[in-house]
């Protein structure tokens, strides 16, 4: 196993690893993914530039059960992000609709369902502490949509440090 990929837990059905930044969790087009390197089945994904724990199934039955658990919000997903900006209220529950734009590879958050393909999103954000010139937040996506955290934070003026897609481009250059 790659030295940057740490195995956290394994049994006969499940593998949990710490995924470093810079590697894709899974993809049908890319053969250089964590899923393919480890010979396992991805149950969920983290963005390429996100590090954290990823759960993999070691058989189809476990994959089906874990996917159902994710779909029914039985898995508690908690993230931390270093951001530019601050909340006026904490914790804050954000609700809206996410629309994918396949051409740009980005998503957009709207307050109203103004597109037939819009999917509801809900994210809970909590201020943890200042961290130098930035602030550290705990984020709990109650739905699991593509780029949900990055886009939802960006929609309220919080941008994740180093996020080139939804972040504050001027601040990231400093």
Residue 60 — φ and ψ, nearest 5°? Answer: -65, -40
Which residue, 54, 30, 33, 52, is CA-closest to 44?
Answer: 54
Residues 21 and 4: their CA atoms lie apart, in Å, by: 9
Residues 67 and 83: their CA atoms lie apart, in Å, by: 30
Please tell me the chain's helix, strand, coil percentages from 3-state DSSP, rounded to the nearest 5. Answer: 15, 35, 45
Beta strand pairing call for 79-84 and 134-141: antiparallel
Q: Is 163 a catalytic residue?
A: no
- SS3 category, 125: strand
Quick count: other Cβ atoms within 10 Å of Cβ 31?
Answer: 9
Candidates 2, 11, 47, 101; catalytic one: 47
Which active-site residues does the annotation give?
Answer: 47
């Amino acid at each position: 196993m790659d030295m940057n990929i740490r195995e956290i837990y394994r049994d006969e059905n499940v593998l949990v690893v710490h995924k470093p930044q810079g590697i894709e969790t899974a993809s049908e087009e890319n053969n250089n993914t964590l899923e393919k390197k480890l010979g396992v089945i991805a149950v969920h994904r983290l963005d390429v530039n996100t590090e954290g724990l990823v759960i993999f199934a070691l058989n189809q039955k476990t994959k089906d059960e874990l996917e159902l658990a994710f779909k029914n919000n039985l898995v508690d997903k908690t993230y931390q992000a270093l951001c530019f900006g601050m909340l006026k209220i904490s914790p804050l529950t954000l609700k809206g609709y996410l629309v994918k734009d396949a051409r740009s590879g980005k998503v957009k958050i709207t307050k109203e369902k103004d597109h037939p393909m819009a999917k509801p999103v809900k994210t809970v954000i909590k201020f943890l502490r200042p961290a130098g010139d930035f602030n550290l937040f705990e984020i709990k996506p109650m739905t699991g949509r593509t780029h949900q955290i990055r886009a939802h934070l960006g929609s309220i003026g919080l941008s994740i440090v180093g996020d080139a897609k939804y972040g504050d481009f001027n601040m990231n250059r400093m």
